[in-house]
Structure 1
Amino acid sequence: MGRLYTISLAVFAATGSFLFGYDSGVMTDVIESKNFLSFFNTTQTSAIVGAINSTFSGGAAIGSLQGGLTMDRFGRKFTIQLGALICLIGAILQASAMNLAMILIGRILAGWAVGLMSMSVPVYQAECAHPSSRGLIIGLAQQMNGVGFIVSTWVGYGSLHAPDTSQFQWRFPLAFQAFPAIMLLVGMLFLPESPRYLIEKERHDTAMKVLKRLHFDGTNGEWIKTEYNEIKSTIEAENVVAAPSWISMFRVPQWRTRLLHGVAVQVFTQMTGVNVIAYYQTILYNALGITGNRNTLVAGIYNCIGPLTNLIFIVFLLDKVGRRKPMMFGAVAISITLICEAALNSVNPEGKRAGYSIAGVFFIFCITIIFSLSFGPCSWVYMAEVMPMQIRGKGNAFATGIGNWAVGTLWSQVSPIALGSIRWKFYLVFIIWNMCVSLPVIYFLFKETTQKSLEEIDLLFGGPALGILPNGIREIQPNLEQEKGKDSEIVVENVENTGQKLTAAWSI
């Protein structure tokens, strides 16, 4: 079936990312509902609204970490389906909420579900993708994330046209997320498991069938055999001596380095400030003097621009320009844009100068465009690529849970308060971080992974690390100077009895 089937599989699996975007964006319009604010006796800039969003992010952090266990034990497909089921339960609770506790529990469950799917969907896509199009395939997760934001905005915009006395204004947008959750839960039954996971579980015949189904175009039979043998050899050699665990991710130097790369890219993405803008943009527009239906209309247009830009980038550029350069561009360009936004807000505090307000909206729009050309797709692609097979589940879980969702929880809680009190000065936090931390770290430490197989990326970080062995055995790195395709000897020695050695064949 080849490329078309792989893209179709990636798009459908990214329904999980659609739910990520929808659940993240739906509260933007819900908190604009006068009926919602009255029903729960709150305001847009209250700690209650911050709690509603932070519980979602906190649940996502827990879900991401739990996904590391689920993926390794039950597979990529099961983890995505579990996320869809939990999301369905959360949607029912939110839509039927009669008190704040029901909303908060529903948001925690929705966050838990999104945490599971936000870390498992990119891994599933990466392990099913061809190296030449992996950026496009994983980039579809960010694309569907953006589509989720679009749908949430326009569903919310339409619902807000209901009378202020009607609970339809906010119950329907919260209920709508149940439909894609059901579709994903059922539809994943008909998609294959990741071939790398199947090989790890010694289901070799099924894995070969899946590889052919994913990549065979009638002429590349030898490439598929080579890819299969490379994956199988890598996993078998690692399984000879490796004992991967949560602790070993930090104890093995190479794994620790790669884990930190994954965490860092997620932290840097949150520190662009783009999610603060996405969650609370209606507050920003109110500060610029754009209120009422115009406010949610502008938010709807904002949410359309990012996904359109992202689509152009992942289809035409991402697999050509790489990962590092777009992220360095993003760190600089977003900082400059935030400086301009802060300057405009400082001289237009009441939003009464129409020209300045229009310029303020323009720069907010510029941020989503720049983000979609840089960190938006690149962060998920890079994180999924740098994790080695042995810790791919746990590593992506930790990077997503801590780097993305734990940091996101902080900003979800404090942002409405900060925007209400210090206003434009809040942007300075993100400007300083991007220029003083994100940019230099990406430039000096990040590695380019474009067009390389997941197994070849091992060599960028010094070759396969075999981890911590039982009974005090540790690995000695293989000879990485061997030519690809030739056998290299891995020698491991027992720390407690240095006279005993174990030799395993490794094909690089």
Structure 2
Amino acid sequence: MSRRSAFVNWRVYILAIVAYSGVFVFGFDTSLAGGVIALPGFENDFLGGQPASAQVLSLVVSVLQAGAFVGALSAAPISEFLGRRNSLVVASLIFVCGAAVQTAATNDIVWIYCGRAVSGVGVGAMTMLAPTYVAESAPANVRGRITGIFQVIVVLGVAISYWITYGVNLNIPVSSAQWRIPIAFQFVPVGIMLIFLPFCKESPRWLARKGRVEQSLLNLAWLRNTALTSTKLQDEFASILASVKHEREGRGNFRECFEKGNRIRFVIAFILFALQQFSGQNSVSYYAPEVFSSIGMPSTTSALLASGVYGIVKLLSTLAFLFIGIEQLGRRRSLVYGVAWMGIMFFIIGALLRTHPPGAQQEVSNWSIGMAVALYIYVLPYSFSIGPIPWVYCSEIFGNSIRHYGVAWAAATQWLFNFIITKITPTLEQRLSGGTLFFMFGSINLLTAVFCFFLPETKGVSLEEMDVIFGYVSREQRQRDVLRVATNLQHGALSGPDGGRHLFESRPGSASTYEGHRLDTLYEDPEVGGKEGEGEGAVAL
């Protein structure tokens, strides 16, 4: 990534960080429960001083996923009505209500269940809204990197949840404060998003679909940090409007989901996220203290420390991939190589558990350390494949008219199987002992590599071109529509009372026919003079 490219796109990077601040609680909340429930303070307040049973553990962890499933599906129609940015605000407020209930809970664990369910609705909505918002705002050449920040923020949440739990267990006396501090920390990232989100621009693609063509172009120019007269900007905008034209000729948004070229995208999203959840990563992540205990780290402190190191390794490897590899390797190759490596590592861990099972000793053995290191190595390929790529891939493969449905479907699928895997993991750990559980996950990962080999590559492809790749519209028709819109942008008014429909006419109409601005009269910084080029002639908004 060149310094100039990073500088030009700095506004999109800031938008992504703000929009994804709320998604921090996705990683934080889902990983937090497994550690918090093992704290002596939580056990004293809610479990009568006894360790949590497998049923209580799975319920505390998975009830959030159930709420998130509802939130992800509900977010699609809300975002279509309110827009991406305003819908994120609503989702954040829902989450805050659930977090407040959890923090204020006393003695009765039902309040923890209820609070996590409500928070889950907000988290699920944010996992649908944030990737959609960012993908619709990011330029094609760095969209994978910018959209992939989603996974960095999620992994950061996972890592911090481990270390906060480890810290309070080590330094806070056994009391309610032990578990209230980690839970109350959830307010910080969501608060940051609520403060800065009003300063971000709405998705230009959503605005174009709503007929607010002029504002759409202004927002696009602001995000690209370039002049309205930039040829590159006008080409991108013409492509967006051409996609809107095809949508308006369709038979309705929801029915479009079942048309040729769209059905396959929903199938891919479903399978990809189902395989992600059964890759074994979430079982390790959510129940990390229990997993590390099962491979020979019996004390709570040792298991929590190993979990914290695991989170750090995951964070650093994800950061390295997004800023070095995702735009170089592409989506398909990263997935194939990554999940194959993951499968091999799980077979190694399973073999070590089979041949050198942990004993009853209190000290950590060398073989247990070796298995922990193998888990750390396993998380490296996860961080450049099935971890971040499904969120990037599914936020970009859907057309503008169905993206809110597509990403909602993808997020709901993730939460559905997330719920299932977290419910069954404690039982699987008990029944599939001696490395069998790791053999199962390893086999699934090798099958996933075969599936990913046949996925279309989307690196560097514009969102509008996805319709061509998946056969929803022919390349010739899309090129004709883009040319028509581009011509009319130069000869006709930019916006009018018809919501921009005049831009799709075969012949450009007279500029005086429509109300609104022409492209060459939109306000720009007079000192810059509207020079063409990246980073020049910035729109004065």
Are the counterparts in 1 of residues 345 and 374 from structure 2 also a CA contact under 8 Å? yes
- Which of 144, 154, 163 pairs up with 1:135? 144
Cα separation, partners in 2 of 1:96 and 1:399, compared to 1, 3 Å: same
Query: How far off its partner does 1:15 sit?
Result: 0.5
Query: How far off its partner does 1:333 sit?
Result: 0.8
For residue 23 of structure 2, give the secondary structure of its aligned residue in structure 1: helix
For residue 287 of structure 2, give the secondary structure of its aligned residue in structure 1: helix
Q: Is 2:381 aligned against 1:370?
A: yes
- Which of 255, 260, 280 pairs up with 2:267? 260
State the match for 1:43 in structure 2: 51
Query: How far off its partner does 1:450 sit?
Result: 0.3
- Which of 245, 253, 258 pairs up with 1:244? 253
In structure 2, C-alpha distance between the alignment counterparts of 1:439 and 1:29, rounded to whole Å: 32
Cα separation, partners in 2 of 1:47 and 1:505, compared to 1, 3 Å: farther
Q: Is 2:105 aligned against 1:94?
A: no
Query: How far off its partner does 1:326 sit?
Result: 0.8
- Structure 1's unaligned 5+ residue stretches are 465-476, 489-503
- Which of 145, 150, 170 pairs up with 2:179? 170
Q: What is the TM-score with the length of structure 1 in the denominator?
A: 0.89
2:415 aligned partner, one-letter code = W
1:441 aligned partner, one-letter code = F
Q: Is 2:423 aligned against 1:410?
A: no
- Which of 328, 332, 352 pairs up with 2:336? 328
In structure 2, C-alpha distance between the alignment counterparts of 1:89 and 1:485, rounded to whole Å: 46
In structure 1, C-alpha distance between the alignment counterparts of 2:93 and 2:369, rounded to whole Å: 42
Q: Which stretch shifts more, 286-295 or 14-23?
A: 286-295
Cα separation, partners in 2 of 1:157 and 1:337, compared to 1, 3 Å: same
For residue 402 of structure 2, give the secondary structure of its aligned residue in structure 1: helix
Query: How far off its partner does 1:180 sit?
Result: 1.6
Cα separation, partners in 2 of 1:73 and 1:483, compared to 1, 3 Å: closer
1:374 aligned partner, one-letter code = S
**Matched length:** 475
In structure 2, C-alpha distance between the alignment counterparts of 1:482 and 1:397, rounded to whole Å: 29
- Which of 420, 425, 439 pairs up with 1:428? 439
Cα separation, partners in 2 of 1:480 and 1:241, compared to 1, 3 Å: closer
Are the counterparts in 1 of residues 260 and 471 from structure 2 also a CA contact under 8 Å? no
State the match for 1:70 in structure 2: 78
- Which of 300, 313, 317 pairs up with 1:309? 317
Cα separation, partners in 2 of 1:383 and 1:481, compared to 1, 3 Å: closer
State the match for 1:467 in structure 2: none
Q: Which stretch shifts more, 35-44 or 318-327?
A: 35-44
State the match for 1:494 in structure 2: none
In structure 2, C-alpha distance between the alignment counterparts of 1:207 and 1:8, rounded to whole Å: 19
Q: Is 2:26 aligned against 1:20?
A: yes
Deviations 1:80-103 (A, max 9, x none): 112211111111111111211110
Matches within 5 A, 1:347-496: 347-351=355-359, 352=361, 354-402=365-413, 404-423=414-433, 424-436=435-447, 438-444=448-454, 446-464=455-473, 485=482
For residue 417 of structure 1, give the secondary structure of its aligned residue in structure 2: helix
Are the counterparts in 2 of residues 244 and 390 from structure 1 also a CA contact under 8 Å? yes
Deviations 1:224-282 (A, max 9, x none): 1111111012112311333011x542x31211111112222211211211011000110
1:331 aligned partner, one-letter code = V
For residue 350 of structure 1, give the secondary structure of its aligned residue in structure 2: coil
Cα separation, partners in 2 of 1:220 and 1:428, compared to 1, 3 Å: farther
Cα separation, partners in 2 of 1:506 and 1:269, compared to 1, 3 Å: farther
In structure 1, C-alpha distance between the alignment counterparts of 2:227 and 2:128, rounded to whole Å: 33
In structure 2, C-alpha distance between the alignment counterparts of 1:195 and 1:163, rounded to whole Å: 48
For residue 390 of structure 1, give the secondary structure of its aligned residue in structure 2: coil
Are the counterparts in 2 of residues 19 and 180 from structure 1 also a CA contact under 8 Å? yes
2:154 aligned partner, one-letter code = N
1:190 aligned partner, one-letter code = F
Deviations 1:479-502 (A, max 9, x none): 5596795569xxxxxxxxxxxxxx
- Structure 2's unaligned 5+ residue stretches are 1-6, 486-503, 508-541
1:65 aligned partner, one-letter code = L
For residue 253 of structure 1, give the secondary structure of its aligned residue in structure 2: coil
Deviations 1:275-302 (A, max 9, x none): 1100011011112332232221111111
Are the counterparts in 1 of residues 334 and 385 from structure 2 also a CA contact under 8 Å? yes
In structure 2, C-alpha distance between the alignment counterparts of 1:174 and 1:304, rounded to whole Å: 20
For residue 301 of structure 2, give the secondary structure of its aligned residue in structure 1: helix
Cα separation, partners in 2 of 1:188 and 1:486, compared to 1, 3 Å: closer
Cα separation, partners in 2 of 1:482 and 1:68, compared to 1, 3 Å: closer
Are the counterparts in 2 of residues 195 and 211 from structure 1 also a CA contact under 8 Å? yes
Query: How far off its partner does 1:506 sit?
Result: 9.6
Are the counterparts in 2 of residues 45 and 417 from structure 1 also a CA contact under 8 Å? no
In structure 1, C-alpha distance between the alignment counterparts of 2:202 and 2:280, rounded to whole Å: 35
In structure 2, C-alpha distance between the alignment counterparts of 1:242 and 1:415, rounded to whole Å: 43
Are the counterparts in 1 of residues 67 and 117 from structure 2 also a CA contact under 8 Å? yes
Query: How far off its partner does 1:32 sit?
Result: 2.4
State the match for 2:287 in structure 1: 280
- Which of 156, 161, 172 pairs up with 2:170? 161
- Which of 156, 178, 187 pairs up with 2:196? 187
Query: How far off its partner does 1:166 sit?
Result: 0.9
State the match for 2:498 in structure 1: none
Q: Is 2:281 aligned against 1:270?
A: no
- Which of 213, 216, 222 pairs up with 1:207? 216
State the match for 1:496 in structure 2: none
1:292 aligned partner, one-letter code = T
Q: Is 2:161 aligned against 1:152?
A: yes
Query: How far off its partner does 1:153 sit?
Result: 1.6
Are the counterparts in 2 of residues 21 and 149 from structure 1 also a CA contact under 8 Å? yes
Query: How far off its partner does 1:160 sit?
Result: 1.2
Are the counterparts in 1 of residues 97 and 118 from structure 2 also a CA contact under 8 Å? yes
For residue 231 of structure 2, give the secondary structure of its aligned residue in structure 1: helix
Instruction: Please tell me the root mean square deviation across aligned C-alpha atoms, in Å.
Output: 2.3
For residue 455 of structure 1, give the secondary structure of its aligned residue in structure 2: coil
Deviations 1:404-452 (A, max 9, x none): 110010111111122133233222332222223x2222112x1000001
In structure 1, C-alpha distance between the alignment counterparts of 2:237 and 2:478, rounded to whole Å: 23
In structure 1, C-alpha distance between the alignment counterparts of 2:193 and 2:475, rounded to whole Å: 43
State the match for 2:522 in structure 1: none
Cα separation, partners in 2 of 1:288 and 1:432, compared to 1, 3 Å: closer
Are the counterparts in 1 of residues 18 and 192 from structure 2 also a CA contact under 8 Å? no
Cα separation, partners in 2 of 1:27 and 1:13, compared to 1, 3 Å: same
- State, as a whole percentage, how many aligned pairs show the same letter: 26
Query: How far off its partner does 1:16 sit?
Result: 2.1
